[in-house]
Structure 1
Amino acid sequence: MAEHDYAARIAWTGNRGQGTASYRGYARTWDVTTPGKPVIHCSNDPLLGGDPALPNPEDLLLASLSACHMLWYLHLASQAGIVVHGYVDDPLGVGETLAGGEGRFLRATLRPAIELAAGADLALADRLHHEVDRYCFIARSVNFPVSVEATYHPR
């Protein structure tokens, strides 16, 4: 077993001069900085007063889940002799907010459209999605169900 460290800095950028003196007096914006990588400017979910033009935590979680799945899928496909020429996912996360403001993800569906080499074994290509959950850090860490509805297109 090996542990891995991941580091990031989250810096609130929404102080408009009065801090949090009033609920509407501050912006729900922040920057994500990871060593040696571009800064990601973020905001809260628009339902909670955030800027709809910026990624929010829910966007980032869903994107991380999808990207992790994709990278492991590509790895497993390569090992299995499945040639992938293209991969685009339009994942959908479903959340709920309770009356007291508590929120959570209920489920996520990954919907990758995968371009495979002509003659690829579609049954094997599909089975590989079920193997990803054994490896993907993100999928192994979330406490909501994640399903995959993949479509395949020959090249």
Structure 2
Amino acid sequence: MKMTVEVHWEREGAVFTDKRYSRAHFWRFDGGQVVPASASPHIVPLPYSVEANVDPEEAYIAAISSCHMLTFLSIAAPQGIVVESYTDKAIGVMEKVDGRLVVSRVDLNPTIVYAGEPPTAATQTELHHLAHEQCFIANSVKTEIQVAS
């Protein structure tokens, strides 16, 4: 299976060699969705970044959270555990490791509302454990991923 994403940026007349050019660009996904993107203002100062746009670090954290959620839902459903809503306020931690800046950890903080009686804490912990083991993104990265219970 292959997935394609188009990432497009244009100089728009900026000098470029002085590094004073816009980092604004867009991502176009195979379904047609276009997402405005930019370097993070924490990495590249304004006005050369766009605070309102998604940055790669945020997208990375969102991909990990989204994959975990989708895997969690797919495991819960056949067990008869009905989820009404799932909200995760994921937090990524960037730090220097071996002299290089990396997203070293992602903390997932899901709040889940169930229809009827919620599963026991032990069952929820097991569902999150299985979701982490089966998540394609989690299996593809070195970043430490922690799920709050």
TM-score (norm 1): 0.85
2:28 is the alignment partner of 1:33: yes
Using the aligned pairs only, state the percent identity: 32
Q: Return the alpha-carbon distance in structure 2 between the equivalents of residues 9 and 105 of structure 1.
A: 23
The 8 Å contact of residues 82 and 125 in structure 1, kept in 2 or not, is answered as no
**Residue 97 of structure 1, CA deviation:** 4.3
Alignment match, 1:120 = 118
Q: Pairwise CA RMSD of aligned residues?
A: 1.8
Separation (CA, whole Å) in 2 of partners of 1:128 and 1:61: 22
**C-alpha deviation, 1:126, in angstroms:** 2.4
Tell me what 2:39 maps to. Answer: 44
Which secondary structure does the structure 2 equivalent of 1:130 belong to?
A: helix
Distance in 2 between residues matched to 1:149 and 1:81, nearest whole Å: 23
Residue in 2 aligned with 1:17?
13
The letter of the residue matching 1:136 is C
Q: Which runs of 5+ in 1 are unaligned?
A: 151-155
1:80 paired with 2:73, answer no
**CA deviation map 1:23-67 (0-9, x unaligned):** 11x111111112232211100011222221111000000001000
Letter in 1 for 2:60: L
The correspondence for 1:6, drawn from 3, 22, 25, is 3
Instruction: Report the Cα offset of residue 120 of structure 1.
Output: 2.8
Q: How does 1:52-71 map to 2 (within 5 A)?
A: 52-71=51-70
In 1, the alpha carbon distance for the partners of 2:74 and 2:30 equals: 26
Q: Give the Cα separation in 2 of the matches to 1:126 and 1:120.
A: 12
SS at match of 1:47: coil
1:107 Cα deviation after fit: 0.6
Q: Which runs of 5 or more structure 2 residues have no equivalent in the other structure?
A: none
Size of the aligned set, in residue pairs, is: 144
1:133 alignment counterpart: 132
- C-alpha deviations, 1:97-120, integer Å up to 9, x for none? 47x7x3101111100000012323
* Contact kept? 1:108, 1:144, Cα under 8 Å: yes
Counterpart CA distance in 2 for 1:121 and 1:31 is: 41
